[in-house]
A and B are shown apart, each in its own frame.
Chain A
Amino acid sequence: MNRAPRALTFSGVTVRNLMRQPMRTMLTALGVSVGVIAVVALAAISRGFWDMTSMALRLGGCDLLVFQTGVAADILSSLEEKATRAALASVDAVEAVAGAIFTVQPVNDQPFMVVIGAREDDFSYRQLKPTQGRKPQRPDELMVGRVAAQTLCVKVGDKIRMGRHEFTISGMFELGLVVVDGGVMIDLDVLQEMTNRQDQITAAPVKLKPGADRRAAVEEIERRFPEFKAISEVEEYVKVDRGLVIMQALVWGVSGIAVLVGGLVVLNTMWMSVFERTREIGILRALGWSRRRVVGMILMESALISLLAAAMGSVLGVAVAQLATVMHITEQFVQPVYGPALFGWATLLAVAIGALGGVIPSWRASTFSPVEALRYE
């Protein structure tokens, strides 16, 4: 028994054209998706950094973070603790000032581990409730974050090594922020001594009085104390750390490369495909198809390849970003974030790739004289 024949549509024709060489279509889409994978993974990680930074800014009821002016990265900032506390306390809107060191140290066999030094009685630290054990009470005790405990394969009561010193894990904490949970927390005095930074801190978390305006406080602090950079929003973080800007620039750069390479891949495939179909294009023209429709057909084919690549690239990009986390490459530092904007960006890339790769072959197809095309065997 015959299947009932179905209507042929314009988009149906283009899909059928692509299905003719399924392997070529898939391989082309796969080639294009490599760039999309890179962009999606990188953008997810960059977005993760961004979100994490904005959460870190509010940790422990913090309104502002104050750093040293003119540094390239937040962990390179250095302030004198006593003077900084006194200066910031003199600002009207300020309710409380804390001091902290954020640094990176080798711990056991991990070459880079976030180490945070904090003071027992500071507002930001007082709030912290260990999920297991207790806060350190002796100089040779410290707390590990949940992720760090996993990475180091340690539990409360175990001993770990940092430089020449040995510590006992008195407790474990979890703040839901990978960069912090991936680190260890230690008394500020101990860390200052251990790293030879007496009376030094990297940043001063500041809590404002209820109802105080953060922006106004930032302005006042920076006006009165030019040696300070105060940050209340993640957008201002670039003042002390170029990391976010570099990440963002990297996403743009890789996107550009993805469009260029993907565009060339599509161009190559569609260019060959147009020439292979010279006679068919002549037949279509003889049957009354306009140039415009032939151009549309080629453009739509390259658009479909690119959208397929965007879909494949999005799925694989998420897989790559997750894999980087699962394989302990990034998990102590960042949790990738996948928003609708990310997949919107991937789709936009695909459109650009499709346009770049489709325009030239479709233009070429439109210049085929139907007479010549029909003579072509």
Chain B
Amino acid sequence: MSRTAELAAAALEAAAAPREIAVRARGLVKSFERGSIVALDRADLTIHAGEAIAIAGPSGCGKSTLLNLIAALDRPDAGEIEVFGTSLRSLTRKQADLFRSGTIGFVFQLHNLLPHLTAHENVQIPMVRAGISAEQRVSRASMLLDRVEMSHRVNNLPPTLSGGERQRVAVARALANHPRLILADEPTGSLDTRSGSQVLDLMRQIQREDGVTLVIVTHDLQVAQSASRVVHMRDGRITDA
């Protein structure tokens, strides 16, 4: 090995060594209906910053519940969860709202968009808050729709868009507030294979270009393969993390 190559490899390793951790979950427990349904049963998971990870598992194994805890939409009954160094347990409700709007971008499976607002307006929704001017909102939404190749449909209402187009708008909306973590819950669940893989490719491309962390939840192993790492879930536990 040449001297320069050796140095380059060392530098890469050094840069990569203390890889920042996006999500660290330890012993998460979450139950519903006064404990009769245990959705998460001591789940452990670590996700590194910039990673594209798929969480795969059968229906009802607790995938959405885990995602909701990561987004601070809900609190665990027990266990610890940190997102980019912030312990979510200690957050007040108000802090949780702020954390979510500043750090998380969400994409859901169905009925993702507000049906009475245009594609462009849907992308603006997360930006409707203090500190973002109207011009900034408009230009950023246009830019994001351009990025997901939807600039020809900005004034369309969701019911006039195809399923794949709607999900691309949802991806643009998830990016509105420069999130570091994108959570996608079955983003291709209602799409045919072709438009599904288009949406997945788009998310992967954005994840690589922007260096964001991407978490895709799916019960479809085919879809899971599009991620750089796949973890499996069963009965409320991560089986191979």
Measured CB to CB, the residues of A under 8 A from B are 2-3, 5-10, 13, 16-17, 19-20, 279-280, 283-291, 293, 369-371, 374-375, 377
Contacts and interface: CB of A to CB of B under 8 A. Distances in A.
A8 B117 contact: yes
Contacts of B125: 8, 13, 284, 287, 289
Given A5-B155, A371-B74, A377-B111, A288 B116 contact: no
Contact of A287 (B101, B118, B152): B101
Contacts of B141: 5
A344 B125 CA distance: 35
Nearest to B102: A288
Contacts of B98: 288, 290
B180 interface: no
Interface string B47-91: 000000000000000001000100101100000000000000000
Interface residue tally on B, bucketed by range: 35 or more
B78 to A, nearest CB: 17
B104 interface: yes
Nearest to A284: B125
Contacts of B152: 2
Contact of A288 (B101, B111, B120, B121): B101
Given A284-B125, A289-B97, A371-B73, A5 B120 contact: yes
Given A8-B137, A285-B97, A288-B98, 11 more contacts: A5-B118, A284-B125, A286-B73, A288-B97, A288-B100, A288-B104, A289-B101, A290-B94, A290-B97, A291-B93, A371-B73
21 contacts: A2-B154, A2-B155, A5-B118, A5-B155, A7-B124, A7-B134, A7-B135, A8-B117, A8-B137, A9-B128, A16-B116, A283-B112, A285-B73, A285-B97, A287-B100, A287-B101, A288-B98, A288-B100, A289-B97, A370-B68, A375-B64
Q: Which of A9, A279, A286 has the most CB of B within 10 A?
A: A286
A283 B73 contact: no
Q: Is the interface of B mostly helix, strand, loop or mixed?
A: helix
Contacts of A10: 128
A217 to B, nearest CB: 64
Contacts of B68: 370-371, 374
A287 B106 CA distance: 7
B218 interface: no
B142 interface: yes
A293 B68 CA distance: 20
A106 B100 CA distance: 78
B182 to A, nearest CB: 12
A370 B137 contact: no
B135 A291 contact: no
Contacts of A6: 138
A293 B102 CA distance: 16
Nearest to A21: B116
B111 A13 contact: no
Q: Which of B71, B97, B110, B152 has the most CB of A within 10 A?
A: B97
A287 B117 contact: no
Contact of B74 (A8, A280, A369): A369
Contacts of B117: 8, 13, 16
B128 A286 contact: no
